[in-house]
Amino acid sequence: MPADLAQFPVANGPGSVAQAPDLPAGFAATFSSRFIETAGLRQHAVVGGSGPAVLLIHGWPENWYAWRFVMPSLAQNHTVIAVDQRGLGLTGKPDDGYDAGTLAGDLIALMDVLGHERFAVIGHDTGVVAAYALAADHPDRVDRLAVAEIPGPPGAVPAPPLFVPGPLNDKVWHIPFNRAGKVAEQLVQGKEHIFFGYEFAIQGGKPLSETVIDYYVQGFTNPESLRGCFGFYRAWDATMAQNKVRATQPLPMPVLAIGGADSWADHVADGMRPVAANVQGAVIAAAGHWVAEQAPEELLPVLTTFLTD
């Protein structure tokens, strides 16, 4: 049975619903920011709506806000939970625990406390990696899985070579850079707008507004958050080893693989077919990597059909 949200503290600071810019009209009347304690990790989730639960897992370098345009429509028929991943947003930023298995454990603990036994999951970018682990490690809990904008979970599908053509290198160079240890923090600190601004600009599709980019970048202008945002990448080896094992058992639930036409397109579905038994693909026109922000009107009918079919 879903838990009473009133028992969880409301978050009102930067990074919460209360201080997020340019939200859709009426957003705060449906959704609230809550802090949920789970096994030593304080997680921040934005929750609203009613009906079957759907868990939204954002990518890098973002937070729950990435889903703001699709959340109100989804909440008409679902309880929507948009979580900040470990190390990002207002969720805790411990020194370790950024491998996919631990991230999946964070999310199962969150859904346990919120009282949702079975639920759908939608993941974007690094959220795909957490979502895949969640579905693979807990198939009895995940009703269906939608993934957007990476070409398969690392370690479960072949990795690209070290030296790739320039346009592809521009899209993936940050992965080895982010894995490099504290030197990444040292090089980025004080130049956050240059580093993260490049990432938002290079990933294809209609540019996000300067207001939105500044909102995301401001969240990384302190040492703890900057360290936390690299945690996922520093656990890359552990995640790849785990996914190699996960891939031996195909996902049993329906999977929707979504690509932006100006980004990974059909490669998302191609990357999921080796690891899931029932995959349908969708390519969102007029979108690059940031599909839920660049083309929410095109994305929503694809998601709602999948969730209710």
pLDDT tens string for the chain (309 positions)? 899 999 999 999 899 999 999 999 999 999 999 999 998 899 999 999 999 999 999 999 999 999 999 999 999 999 999 999 999 999 999 999 999 999 999 999 999 999 999 999 999 999 999 999 999 999 999 999 999 999 999 999 888 777 789 988 999 999 999 999 899 999 999 999 999 999 999 999 999 999 999 999 999 999 999 999 999 999 999 999 999 999 999 999 999 999 999 999 999 999 999 999 999 999 999 899 999 999 999 999 999 999 998
Residues 11, 46: Cα–Cα separation, whole Å: 9
CA 206 to mean position of chain CA atoms? 20
CB neighbours (10 Å) of residue 19? 12
Question: Phi and psi (nearest 5°) for 100?
Answer: -60, -40
Compute how many other C-beta atoms are within 10 angstroms of the C-beta atom of residue 211: 9
Distances, alpha carbon 300 to alpha carbons 50, 57, 67, 227, 292, in Å: 17, 16, 11, 33, 8
Nearest to 88, CA basis, from 235, 261, 216, 260: 216
Structure tokens at 142: 């995940």
**Cβ contact 269:259 at 8 Å:** yes
Backbone phi and psi for residue 40, each to the nearest 5 degrees, phi listed first: 90, -5
68 within 8 A of 52, measured Cβ to Cβ:
no
Dig out the tokens for 66 from the structure: 């990435």
Dihedral of CA 14/16/21/26: which sign? negative
Q: Would you state the pLDDT for residue 45?
A: 98
User: What pLDDT does residue 210 have?
Assistant: 96
Three-state secondary structure of the chain: CCCCHHHCCECCCCCCHHHCCCCCCCHHHHEEEEEEEECCEEEEEEEEECCCEEEEECCCCCCHHHHCCCHHHHCCCCEEEEECCCCCCCCCCCCCCCCHHHHHHHHHHHHHHHCCCCEEEEEECHHHHHHHHHHHHCCCCEEEEEEECCCCCECCECCCCCCCCHHHHHHHCHHHHHCCCHHHHHHHCCCHHHHHHHHHHHCCCCCCCHHHHHHHHHCCCCHHHHHHHHHHHHCHHHHHHHHHHHCCCCECCCEEEEEECCCCCCHHHHHHHHHECCEEEEEECCCCCCHHHHCHHHHHHHHHHHHHC
pLDDT value at position 143?
98
291-303: pLDDT as tens digits: 999 999 999 999 9
Q: For 2-17, how does the pLDDT look when each residue is reduced to its tens digit (9 = 90+)?
A: 999 999 999 998 999 9
CB 215 within 8 A of CB 21: yes
